[in-house]
Amino acid sequence: MNVYLYILVMAVVTYLIRMLPLTLIRRRIENRFVKSFLYYVPYACLMAMTFPAVFYAAEEHFVAAVAGVVVAMLLALRGKGLMTVAVAASVTVFAVSLIQGL
Amino acid sequence: MSSEFRIGVKDGIPIALGYFAVSFSLGITMVAAGITAFQGAVMSLSNLTSAGEFAGVRVIAAGGGLLELVLTQLIINLRYSLMSLSLTQKLDEKVSFWQKLLIAFGNTDEIFAVAMNHQRSLTLSYMLGLQSLPIIGWTAGTFLGAVACDLMPKSVSVAMNVMLYGMFIAIVIPVAKKSKEVLMVACAAVLFSCLFRYVPALQGVSAGISIIICTVAAAALGAILFPVKEGQD
């Protein structure tokens, strides 16, 4: 299937999600379940996409990916910023895969 | 150029820089999924959403169906509807229906957060100023990441493929550290996701559908077991 068709569908759905509440709804969401559900969605979604996929993201370098995740988690726990954590994870994967290749 | 527009542009600079870095790694991920730099730039310009685009890339790479794609975007980007809803409470009364159509386009997590932090009610000028640089940064970063990917040695691009995941970890961990509820939801999502990867009977489920099921199941579990307190968003 054409990639641009996929992109168009994604763009339309995403835009409607942003646009409809902004233009149509004037009340606040009161339902506690819906509010709670929406609050948890980003965290659930990011973690479901990350694990276990991240362990295979560096292709055959499984151990390197695990090391990258450990470093990312430790730095994130210590409150480091997004970029620091992301770059450190990448550098770790690179370094460990180099060492493994020796 | 109105002063509100200029203030908006200034407020958008840090977002734009962050976006450039994130979308750079998104561009690399796209190339790995068989998407060209130009297609990636078009996707980023028209979608403006990291998690949504990332999930979309997975569906495209797996040759998934359009219904699957729609559902994936719907679930993952549903949070924007809540943000748009909150934004309506802070918009200036003079903002017209047509102007809202424009403002809605760039309502990302970070732009929403900064806009809600603005001292005055939100005008069209401010919102357009705020959105301008992040949109450019997001699109340019995706394009350059994808282009750079082809020029980089394989070992570097493979390592950079992990960057976006690192960023996701960096978003969730600090919140999970403070909130046991978020931690439980995150663990449930990981557990469900592992089931889809390792249980033979579930391995046939496509990437997009499994992300949807894991997200909905974990978030619903959280909403049932730990409903958020009043005044918490």
Q: pLDDT-derived band of residue B58, with 50, 70 and 90 as boundaries? A: very high
Least confident of B2-6, B179-183, B222-226: B2-6
Query: Is the pLDDT at A52 greater than 70, yes or no?
Result: yes
Q: pLDDT-derived band of residue B55, with 50, 70 and 90 as boundaries? A: very high
CA distance B79 to B59: 20
Q: Which of B45, B139, B163 to mutate to test the interface with A (most CBs of A within 10 A)?
A: B163
pLDDT of res. B129: 97
Q: Which residues in chain B have their CB less than 8 angstroms from residue A52's CB? A: 190, 193-194, 197-198
Q: pLDDT-derived band of residue B231, with 50, 70 and 90 as boundaries? A: low
pLDDT of res. B230: 66
CB atoms within 10 A of CB B97: 9
Evaluate whether B35 touches B57 at the Cβ level (below 8 Å). yes
User: pLDDT tens-digit profile of B163-216?
Assistant: 878 888 988 999 999 999 999 999 999 999 999 999 999 998 887 788 889 999
Contact B160 A73 (CB under 8 A): no
Q: Which of residues 50-69 of A touch B (CB under 8 A)?
A: 50-54, 57-59, 61, 64-65, 68-69
pLDDT of res. B54: 93
Instruction: Return all residues near B68 (Cβ < 8 A) that are at least 6 apart.
Output: B59, B206, B208, B209
Q: Give me the torsion for CA of B179, B183, B184, B185, rounded to 10°.
A: 100
pLDDT of res. B117: 80
Evaluate whether B74 touches A17 at the Cβ level (below 8 Å). yes
Query: In the predicted model, what is the mean pLDDT of chain A?
Result: 90
* CB-nearest partner of B193 from A38, A48, A75: A48
Query: Is the pLDDT at B158 greater than 70, yes or no?
Result: yes
Q: pLDDT-derived band of residue A27, with 50, 70 and 90 as boundaries? A: low
Interface check for A30 against chain B (CB to CB < 8 A): the answer is no
Contact A76 B173 (CB under 8 A): yes
Least confident of A18-27, B8-17, B71-80, B191-200: A18-27
Q: Please tell me the distance in Å from A75's CA to the nearest CA on chain B.
A: 8
CA distance B176 to B170: 10
Q: pLDDT-derived band of residue B43, with 50, 70 and 90 as boundaries? A: very high
Task: Decide: helix, strand or coil at residue B37.
Answer: helix
CA B161 to mean position of chain CA atoms: 17
The two structure tokens encoding residue A85 = 């954590």
